[in-house]
Amino acid sequence: MQWEPVIGLEVHVQLSTCSKIFSGASTAFGAEPNTQACGIDLALPGTLPVLNENAVAMAVRFGLAINAEIPEYSVFERKNYFYPDLPKGYQTSQMAHPVVGRGEVDITLGDGTIKTVRIHHAHMEEDAGKSLHEDYSGMTGIDLNRAGTPLLEIVSEPDMHSAEEASAYIKAIHAIVTYLGISDGNMAEGSMRCDVNVSLRPKGQEKLGTRAEIKNVNSFRFVERAIAFEIERQAEILEEGGKIVQETRLYDPDLDETRSMRTKEEANDYRYFPCPDLLPLMLDEAYIEHQRSLLPELPSEKRQRFVESLGLSTYDANVLTGSRPLAEYFEAVQKLCGDAKMAANWVQGDLLGRLNRDGLDITQSPVNAEQLGGLLLRISDDTINGKAAKQVFADLWECRGETADEIIESRGLKQVTDTGAIESLCDQVIADNPVQVTQYREATEDKRGKMIGFFVGQVMKASRGTANPPQVNAMLKEKLDALL
Amino acid sequence: MHDKTLAELARGLAAGDFSSRELTSSLLERVKKHDPAINSFITVTDEQALKDADAADTLRHKGEAGILSGLPLAYKDIFCTEGVRTSAGSKMLDNFIAPYNATVVEKLRHAGTVSLGKTNMDEFAMGSSNENSYYGPVKNPWNPTLVPGGSSGGSAAAVAAGLVPAALGTDTGGSIRQPAAFCGITGLKPTYGRVSRYGMIAYASSLDQAGPMARTAEDCAMLMNVMAGHDARDSTSVARNVPDYTQGLDKPLNGLKIGLPVEYFGDGLSPEVETAVREAVRVYESLGAQVIDVSLPHTSMAIPAYYVIAPAEASSNLSRYDGVRFGHRCDDPADLEDLYKRTRAEGFGDEVKRRILIGTHTLSEGFFDAYYRKAQQVRRLIRQDFLDAFSRVDVLMGPAAPTTAFELGAKADPVQMYLQDIYTIAINLAGIPGISVPAGLVDNRPVGLQILGPHFGEAHLLNVAHVYQQATDWHQRRPEIKE
C-alpha cells in the first residue's frame, strides 16, 4: 500500500534573554554546574516567580513574525510532575491560553517550491535543569544552571509529509528566530530542540493514523534521519498488518534508530492548573504595535527582495537568506561590489565551500564581508581577472589583515588591459603556433569556438595571468578569423 | 512590661523608661519560664534578639530610632528568616535554615524591630487547632487543656501569654482571626495582595496572606504601616498607595452602616458566642452605628470550595519537598521513587498528606472540571456576595468562630475541624480584609468579633476596631499565668 507520512513538530527554542524567565539568575551557557541557580531556581521555600518582560517581548515578536494572532491575555499554568532536575515539582508553562495563537510559516523545498505550514500556537515555559548520569559512579548529578531558562515552544499543525519538509520547516523556524535575534539557534548547545510526531495513513485517507512522538531531537540532520527511520518502521508494521502503539520514542544518533521510552498508558497526568503566583499576562494593542515596530526584515521578505530587486534566482535567494548573519554578509558584499549575481556566486561557492570544509559558520569566517566585497569590486572594475581573484581570496583566508587591494598590489596581480601589450602577445602566440593556426583555419565553425581556448591559454600564460581573458578572447578571434 | 501594648512600649522606649535590651531580656526570661507549658515557640533566637536590641538602643541614643525601633516581635515559623531554622511546623523542614529573609521580615527588621524567634503552627499552616505541628500542640494560655486555634496558634498564644507584644501570622482560611479569637487578642488578615508573600512558605498561594497579631487594633495599625506595600518579588502584591494606618483610628463611628450576615448567625453557632457578638454590635449602635441584616447567599459553599482550591494549590506547592535539594531526606534510598516515597511519607504529617491527596485528586484528568473549575466559579459567586453586601453597608460583623476554644483532641474528625473556619474561609476566597477583636469571655474563654471590610479597607477596619476598643476593655483582659 502507499503510505502517506503525516508529521507535526514541537520546536523548543531557548530565548536569548540575559536572565531566566522567572528569576534574575544568568542564562549563559557552559558555567560550572549549579553556579547559575538562585533561590528561585532551586525552589527554596517561600520564593516566588516574577515574569521576565524581555522573554514576553521576544515571544510576541515571534508571533508577529509568523502573522499569528496575539491574544489579549495569556495564562501561565503549572505542569506537575516529579523529577530531580525539576526543582519545584512542576514546570511553569502555558496550556489553555498561550501567548501566541495560530500563525503560518513558509518553507522552501529543494525544488524551490514554497509551502505553508500552519502553526497551532506557541507558548512560553521554563526549561528544566539537567540530570548528569556520567561521572558519578552510579549516582546522578543535577545541574540546575539551565532550570528556568525561557523557552518558546512552537507547535505546528501536522502539515508535513516527508523528512525533507520537516527539515525545511526547522530551518525556517531557525531562520526566523535568529533573524529576530530572540535565540542563538545553537542546536548543539540545546538552544533549539525538537519533538517530532510521526504517523502514517493510507494515501488518500483523511483520518490520521496513530502517532509516535520522538523526543528531544537536537540537530537538523537527526530530525531528518529520525523521521526517515520512523516512517520505515511504521510502514513495516502496517504492511504486516500490525498496529502502531501511541508512545514516546527516543532517537539514538549512534545507532540511527528510534526506540520506545514510554507508552500512552504510562503517560503522566500533569494536572495542569493556572499558576496562582503569576497573574494572567495582559498585552494591549499599543504594546503589540510597539513590538511590531521592532521587527527586522524577515527571511521571507528578504528572500522576495533578493529575487525581485537583486535579480537572484529563488534558489540563491533561499540559500543566502538561510540565516541572518549569512544574509547580512551577502548584502554587505553585494553593496560593495555592486554585482548581486557575482556576490551570490562567490558567497555560495568559494566562501561557503571553504567554510564548510573548515567546519566554520559564517560568523567565524576568516574573510569578512568588507574584504570579500573589496575583492569582488576589483573583478567587476576589471582590475583583476577571475583567476587572480582566487589567489587573492586564498591570501585573504590567511588572515594577515590585508585588504584585497593590498594583496593585488604586492603580488602584481593587476590585469593588463593595455590593448597594445595584449595585441603583441596575441601576435606572438599566433606566430609561435603555426600548426594550431592551420588546424583552426581548416576546422568547422563550431569547432573553432573550442579551439580558440588553446590560444587564449597561451596568451594568459605569457601574461602570467594578468591579461583580461574576455579581451584576449575577442582579440584572438578577430586576428585568427582574419586569416581564414 | 509584658502587659503593655506595642504603642505603650514604643512610648516607654522613646521616653527612656526602659531600654530595648531591658524589654527584650525580660521577655526572653518570660519565654524561658512560661513557654515550656504553652509551647508557643519552635525556635527562640535569644542571642540575636539581644544583639538587635542593643543595636536599637544605640540608634536611639544617636537619635536615629524609628517608631518601631527596639520593639520585640515573633514570627510564625512560616516566614523565612536568614540563618534561622524555618520549619513551617513540619519534620520536612526541621533541618531547613533559610538563607534569606521574607520581605515582611526584612521590612520589619529594617524598621528596627527585634525578633525573639519563631512561633509554633500547624504544619504548613494546615489546621485550626495547632495540633498538627511536628513540634507538638500549643496550649491556650487561658486554659492549658484548650487549643489556641490555628494555624497561627503559636503567635496567638505567645501574645496572649505576654511573651511578646505582637507576632506575625498568616491567614489562608482563618489562621490569624480564629486563633486571635480563641486567645483573646486582635488579629488582622489584610486584603490579598496588600502584604508581600515573598519568603512566606506557601500553603495555598491564591489565599495566603500575612498579617499582624497583637493586643490592640492600634498595634496592628503600627505594624501594617511597615508590612503593607508592593513588592517587586511578589507578582500578586498590589501596587497601591499605603495609607498611614495609625491616622484616623479615632474617627467617630456616627452613621457607620453595619451589616450582619444572616448566614453567620445560623445553626452551628454557639448561643454564648452569639450573645457576646450581638452585645458587641449593641456597643457599636451606642456609638452611633446603624445595623441591618444582609445576606451572603453562597456562604454554605465556601468550605467545599475552599477544600478544593486550597488543597489543589497545596498539592503543587508542596511538590518541591522531594528530598533532593533541602529538607528531610529518607535514609539510604534504593532508587528515585523510593527517595520520593519515603522522604514524603516520613516528612509530612497526616493532615498535610490528606490535603495533598485531595488536591492531587481534584486536579486529575477527568475530575478537574467537576472540582477545581466548579470551585473557582463558586469563588467568584462568593466574592460577588461580598461586593453586593458592601454596596449596602460599610462593614460586616459576625463571630470569628462558631465556638470558643475547644479541648485539645476534641475534634478528631477532620470535617468537624474544617467547620471551625465556616465564618472565616469565605473572606480568603473573596480576598477581602477581616479583623478579629476580643469581644467577651464565656467561661473564661475569649470570644472574637469578626469585622469585614471591602478590598483595601484595612484603615477603616482598624478604625472601627479601635473605637470599639476605646469603649470596651475585652482586649485588656489577660489570662492568669502563675508568675
Q: How many domains does chain A have?
A: 3
Chain A residues whose beta carbon lies within 8 Å of the beta carbon of residue B99: 39, 44
Which pLDDT belongs to residue B471? 98
Confidence at residue B440, expressed as pLDDT on a 0 to 100 scale: 97
Residues A337 and A192 in one domain: no
Band (pLDDT 50/70/90 cuts) for residue A265 is low
| B340/A82 Cβ within 8 A | yes
Q: What is the model's pLDDT at position B186?
A: 98
Please tell me the distance from the alpha carbon of residue B89 to that of residue B84, in angstroms, as a whole number. Answer: 14
Q: Which of B79, B232, B320 sits opposite A43 (nearest CB)?
A: B320
Inter-chain contact B199–A47, Cβ cutoff 8 Å? Answer: yes
B334 lies within 8 A of chain A by CB: no
Q: Is A451 on the interface with B (CB under 8 A)?
A: no
Residues A330 and A368 both lie in one domain = yes
Give the Å distances, CA to CA, from B225 to A6, B228, B244, B395, B463: 62, 6, 6, 21, 14
* Range in A127-131, A255-259, A341-345, B326-330 the model is least confident about: A255-259
A108 and A200: one domain? yes
Confidence of residue A382 (pLDDT cuts 50, 70, 90): confident
CB A39 to CB B326 under 8 A? no
Residue among B175, B196, B315, B436 flagged as catalytic: B175
pLDDT at A174 over 90: yes
User: How far apart are the C-alpha atoms of A359 and B478, rounded to whole Å?
Assistant: 82
At B241, give phi and psi (nearest 5°).
-55, 140
Residue A425 sits in a domain whose CATH number is 1.10.10.410
Instruction: State whether residue A62 sits within 8 Å of chain B by CB.
Output: no
Give the residue-averaged pLDDT of A74-85: 96
B155 is an active site residue: no
Residues A188 and A320 in one domain: no
User: What is the average pLDDT score of chain A?
Assistant: 92
Mutate: best of B124, B320, B377, partner A, most A CBs <10 A: B320
Fold of domain B6-254+468-476: Amidase signature (AS) enzymes (3.90.1300)
Contacts A–B by Cβ distance under 8 A:
98
pLDDT for the residue A441: 86
Residues from chain A contacting residue B199 (CB–CB below 8 Å)? 46-47
Highest mean pLDDT range out of A210-224, A382-396, B279-293?
A: B279-293
Q: Who among B233, B236, B312 is closest to A273 (CB)?
A: B312
Chain A hits for B325, CB-CB cut-off 8 Å, are 42-43, 87
The three cell numbers of residue B195 are 502584604
Cβ pair B236:A279 closer than 8 A = yes
Whether residues A154 and A240 fall in one domain: yes
**A213 and A163 in a common domain:** yes
In a shared domain, residues A208 and A316 = no
| ipTM of the prediction | 0.96
Name the residue range of residue A185's domain.
Answer: 3-289
Nearest CA to A372 out of A333, A405, A402, A427 is that of A333
Does residue A112 sit in the same domain as residue A16? yes
Q: Identify all chain B residues contacting A277, using CB atoms and an 8 Å cutoff.
A: 202, 205, 235-236
Amino acid in position A340: A
Report chain A's terminal Cα–Cα distance, integer Å.
Answer: 67
Are A240 and A382 contained in the same domain? no
User: Which pTM value belongs to this model?
Assistant: 0.90
B19, B40, B76, B155: the active-site residue = B76
Whether A45 sits inside 8 A of B102 (CB atoms) is no
Q: Is B98 within 8 Å of A42 when comparing Cβ atoms?
A: no
Identify each DSSP E strand in A15-149 by its residue range: 73-74, 76-80, 90-94, 103-108, 114-126, 130-132, 141-143
Give the lowest-confidence range in A436-440, A464-468, B126-130, B323-327: A464-468
- pLDDT string in tens for chain B (483-residue length): 899 999 999 999 999 999 999 999 999 999 999 999 999 999 999 999 999 999 999 999 999 999 999 999 999 999 999 999 999 999 999 999 999 999 999 999 999 999 999 999 999 999 999 999 999 999 999 999 999 999 999 999 999 999 999 999 999 999 999 999 999 999 999 999 999 999 999 999 999 999 999 999 999 999 999 999 999 999 999 999 999 999 999 999 999 999 999 999 998 999 999 999 999 999 999 999 999 999 999 999 999 999 999 999 999 999 999 999 999 999 999 999 999 999 999 999 999 999 999 999 999 999 999 999 999 999 999 999 999 999 999 999 999 999 999 999 999 888 888 988 999 999 999 999 999 999 999 999 999 999 999 999 999 999 999 999 999 999 999 999 887
Distance from CA of B24 to the nearest CA of A (A): 28
Mean pLDDT of A174-189: 92
User: Do A207 and A337 share a domain, yes or no?
Assistant: no
**Domain residues of chain B, as ranges?**
6-254+468-476
**A81, A90, A277: which to substitute to probe chain B, counting the most B Cβ within 10 Å?**
A277
> Could you tell me which of A39, A15, A273, A33 has the C-alpha nearest to residue A122?
A15
- A220 burial type by CB count under 10 A (0-12 exposed, 13-18 middle, 19+ buried): middle
Listed residues A410, A439, A468: the one ending a domain? A410
B175 noted as active-site residue: yes
Rounded Cα distance between B399 and B110, Å, is 36
Q: Which residues in chain B are contacts of A279 at CB distance < 8 A?
A: 235-236
The pLDDT confidence band at residue A253, using thresholds 50, 70 and 90, is confident
Listing from the earlier edge strand, what are the strands of the sheet with A273-274?
A90-94, A76-80, A273-274
Place of cell 506537575: A80
* Contact with chain B for residue A273, Cβ under 8 A: yes
pLDDT mean over A71-92: 97
Identify the burial level of A240 via C-beta atoms within 10 angstroms of its C-beta, where 0-12 means exposed, 13-18 middle and 19 or more buried.
exposed
